[in-house]
Structure 1
Amino acid sequence: MSDPLPLDLDGYTLLPPGKVAAVVTMLEMTAPPAPLPERGDAGLTLEPVAAPDIGWYRALFRRIGEEWLWFSRLRLPDEELAAIITDKDVSVHVLKKDGVEAGFIELDFRVPGEVELAFVGVAPELVGSGAGRFMMNRALALAWARAPRRVHVHTCTHDLQGALGFYMKAGFRPYAQAIEVTDDPRLSGLLRRDAAPHVPVVER
């Protein structure tokens, strides 16, 4: 994340062509929440993935996140990505719908006393189906099983509309915001040029 902007900055800040900006909201919880109401499992399972293969991980990451400009893990060198997702204190679980992969969560336990819900998402066809609630309840149960001081997550204005509200309903509370500016990953070919149409491409 880039250096913070001056705290007294008001008004518009122009971005150079080829850049995108998002408002990032950081959220946390310091006690286990009540589970979200579910609609029933309806063929859903959440299964741990031991030593995830980086090719498999990248493909699922892209499938879940491309429409929301998820790109951070796609641009990491193979060795760096492998070191993260195979770390003994990083836990990847895949969501399946009737045996077909349809989402994933990644829990990061590497900071003592904390758990980061690093990534959580479902395939586009399951948005609004209740699969997110199913997955979030199980993710939080896994996180709080370690008895951390806090569990935290972040979302941004590029994400699915309603993501922030969903996290708050799950028991998270906002504690900070930041503006993230980065090169548009669609211009480099990292993501499809027509991905995330809600975020305009500005080249010049």
Structure 2
Amino acid sequence: MQERIRPDVAGYRLLQDRVGRDYCWWMRQAASDATLARFLETAPVNIGLLRHDQKIRGFFELDLADPQSVNLSYFGLFPEAIGQRVGRAFLDNVLHLAWRGGPRSVRVNTCTADHPRALALYQQAGFKVMRRVEEIWDVPDRLGIPVPQHLRV
């Protein structure tokens, strides 16, 4: 695992697309290049990669804006790594990083658009469901991100 990388805008968009395309990860993809560049340069985040055999297999992003409550903003595997039994070990390593600074809590948000095993994985790692929220998203067509039929309104 590699942490504290600083990808450029194109590299970050690629990570978001490779992990999140099938799960409607659209919010960062919708940001302008200038907005995303500013975020990547200034945001208090730890972005990292899962590597195996010299290839990137997944990525994570820890939001460190509140040192007492770290947020696992993004976490996932590239499609070819899913089912290879690396997700739990990857998550455990990322959570070790998240707790390293001594926060009171570490949070993660997931949704029905995420991988079907995401919630169970987070619960196995010790997360508890704190609340449920219903949202309606307006995913811009220009992003070319497929919205699964069961999520359409």
Asked whether the two chains share a fold, i.e. TM above 0.5, the reply is: yes
Equivalent residues of 1:107, 1:118 under 8 A apart: yes
Instruction: Give 1:36's aligned residue.
Output: none
Equivalent residues of 2:60, 2:75 under 8 A apart: yes
The offset of 1:196, in angstroms, is 4.9
Secondary structure at the aligned position of 1:174 is classed as coil
Secondary structure at the aligned position of 2:109 is classed as strand
2:78 aligned with 1:123, yes or no?
yes
Name the CA distance, whole Å, in 1 between partners of 2:130 and 2:152: 30
Secondary structure at the aligned position of 1:173 is classed as coil
Correspondent of 2:113 among 158, 165, 188? 158
Correspondent of 1:144 among 91, 94, 99? 99
2:110 aligned with 1:170, yes or no?
no
Instruction: Give 2:16's aligned residue.
Output: 61
Find the structure with the greater CA-based Rg: 1
Equivalent residues of 1:66, 1:196 under 8 A apart: no
Equivalent residues of 1:71, 1:190 under 8 A apart: yes
Correspondent of 1:189 among 142, 146, 151? 142
Higher share of residues assigned helix: 2
Name the CA distance, whole Å, in 1 between partners of 2:44 and 2:105: 16
Equivalent residues of 1:52, 1:86 under 8 A apart: no
Give ranges in structure 2 of 5+ residues lacking alignment: none
TM-score (norm 2): 0.91
Task: Summarize deviations over 1:139-164 as a string: whole Å, max 9, x none.
Answer: 11101110001000000001111211
The offset of 1:113, in angstroms, is 0.8
Instruction: Give 2:34's aligned residue.
Output: 79
What number of residue pairs does the alignment pair up? 153
Task: Give percent identity, aligned residues only.
Answer: 35
4+ long deviations beyond 4 Å:
none
Equivalent residues of 2:113, 2:151 under 8 A apart: no
2:38 aligned with 1:95, yes or no?
no
Name the CA distance, whole Å, in 2 between partners of 1:191 and 1:157: 19
Give ranges in structure 1 of 5+ residues lacking alignment: 1-45
TM-score (norm 1): 0.69
> 1:25-64 maps to which residues of 2 (within 5 A)?
46-64=1-19
